[in-house]
Structure 1
Amino acid sequence: MRDNRKVSGENRRNKILQWLKEKNRPITGGELATMTNVSRQVIVQDISLLKAKNEPIIATSQGYMFMAPTNNKAYERVVACNHTREETRKELYLMVDHGVTVKNVFIEHPVYGDLEASIMVSNRSEVDHFIKQVEETKAVYLLELTNGIHLHTLEADSEEKLELAYQSLCKAGLAIDA
């Protein structure tokens, strides 16, 4: 039987943190709102308060995630890319098909300086979900603010996977050769 009582304040934030730590998938603000019987806006404020306490929570296109430190050796590489909006799916597929997680996208904006957005996609299904959300919300890709030029932070469990992903981007003409 579902308890319809509102979960309040610190207790709610502790529960949110616990749920995020337990799940191996993102949890949407709507799901958290339903679980705590509060509005999605209250959840957004709770997440902000948790982040202010240095909890490693990130907002992705699929929902909120707790980014626990891992014991596994992870390798990272930043790659520079240049392509059109329409080539975004192809670009992301090329990277995730090599076992790489695309952590973010960032640009250097002439007015605002560095702008970064979390992506956190590791497979084609997550890429498709990300693209669908951009299309449904009619959002602008950051690359559209810089004539296609942008960077991604990639993560993998080997440097070889990062190199293969980068080489595939180069071969497809989507990477800016360093």
Structure 2
Amino acid sequence: MKKKQRQADIIKTLRSSREPISGTALSTMYNVSRQSIVQDIALLKASESSYNIISTNKGYILVEPPPRTKVFKVYHSHEEIGDELYTIVDSGGMVKDVFIIHDIYGKIQVDLFLATRADVDAFVMGLEKKKTSPLMKLTDRYHYHTVEAAADSILETIEKRLKEKGYLIMGE
């Protein structure tokens, strides 16, 4: 196994563990010396991604920053729902919800949790299959999405792309 692949696998292993993992356990998993694991951890901490790996007396823990969120007010046609959602997930965002502010009923919100094109496809097909109307129909196509991403730069990219496509409503 090559060093870069092993380092990627170490991150996956640490990310999926709820408990610290010892250097010895990692060296056994990846069939390398404990010293190689120590070097891998040092390189991962110093990498461009600068992983926040904490060394404890019980082993290594990956501490990930909490995701960032931003609310986008958007406007588009029924036919553009898929494209709008693809724009968000293709840019690295996860659409947590959709909500509207109705003049009579106030805020109406529905959780979505769309993170991939497959999620978007299933959502759009559900709208078509059940012949149901999206919430935006109640507010003349205006609606909001809470979007989650790993970094502010991803949210900035999403905002830029939504604006380029004419979906984003600015200044509110």
Indicate the residue corresponding to 1:74 in structure 2. Answer: 67
Q: 1:134 aligns with which of 127, 143, 150?
A: 127
Q: 1:88 aligns with which of 68, 81, 105?
A: 81
Indicate the residue corresponding to 2:98 in structure 1. Answer: 105
C-alpha distance after superposition, 1:49-83 (max 9, x if no partner): xxxxxxxxxxxxxxxxxxxxx96421000000011
Matched AA of 1:119:
L
Matched AA of 2:110:
A
Indicate the residue corresponding to 1:123 in structure 2. Answer: 116
Residue 177 of structure 1: CA displacement? 1.6
Indicate the residue corresponding to 1:149 in structure 2. Answer: 142
Measured in 1, the distance between the counterparts of 2:138 and 2:152 equals 30
Structure 2 unaligned blocks of 5 or more: 1-62
Matched AA of 2:130:
T
C-alpha distance after superposition, 1:133-165 (max 9, x if no partner): 111111110111101100000000000001101
Any residues of structure 2 matched to 1:27-42 within 5 Å, and which? none
Q: Aligned residue pairs: how many?
A: 109
Measured in 1, the distance between the counterparts of 2:133 and 2:159 equals 24
**Poorly superposed stretches of 4+, deviation over 2 Å:** none
Q: Which has the larger radius of gyration?
A: 2
Matched, 1:169 2:162: yes
Matched AA of 2:145:
H
Structure 1 unaligned blocks of 5 or more: 1-69
- TM-score normalized by the length of structure 1: 0.59
Matched AA of 1:146:
T
- TM-score normalized by the length of structure 2: 0.61
Identical pairs, percent: 34
Matched AA of 1:159:
D
